[in-house]
Amino acid sequence: MAVPLEIRQVPRPKNTIVKLTGKSWAVIQRIGCEYKNGKNYPKNGPVIGHIINGEYVPKKEISIELRPKNYGDYMLAKNLSNDILKDLTHVYGVEAFRIF
């Protein structure tokens, strides 16, 4: 299916394409090309936004902030439960890591 003219004319970043995904228009970054069998084929990258109600809406970046306090809690829990992992490994083998 061809992309409608009104969708193509929405201002968006350079080197991007628009593709219908489900019910929304995804803006996909072009990251280069691949050379196969003597021809160049375009290579698409990640989805960087969507076109919603005739406007380009960039994808929100998820930022995970790791604080020393959170890391300390993680290490404390890991150190205290390390013996449980050893016991599980003796009984279940490799499956112990999935159970743990």
Q: What is the pLDDT of residues 39-98, one digit of tens each?
A: 999 999 999 999 999 999 999 887 777 677 777 777 888 888 888 888 888 888 888 888
SS (H, E, C) the chain: CCCCHHHHCCCCCCCEEEEEECCEEEEEEEEEEEEECCEEEEEEEEEEEEEECCEEEECCCCCCCCCHHHHHHHHHHHHHCHHHHHHHHHHHCCHHHHHC
Nearest to 56 by CA among 9, 8, 1, 10: 10
pLDDT of residue 1: 64
Inside any domain, residue 28: yes
Both 45 and 89 in a single domain? no
Domain that holds residue 15: 5-58
This model's pTM is above 0.95:
no
Domain annotation covers residue 84: yes
Please state the domain count of the chain. Answer: 2
Same domain, 22 and 49: yes
Is residue 63 situated within a structural domain? no
CA distance 54 to 56: 7
pLDDT of residue 17: 94
The reported pLDDT for the residue numbered 86 is: 86
What does the pLDDT look like over 55-67, one tens digit per residue?
Answer: 999 998 877 776 7
Same domain, 20 and 44: yes
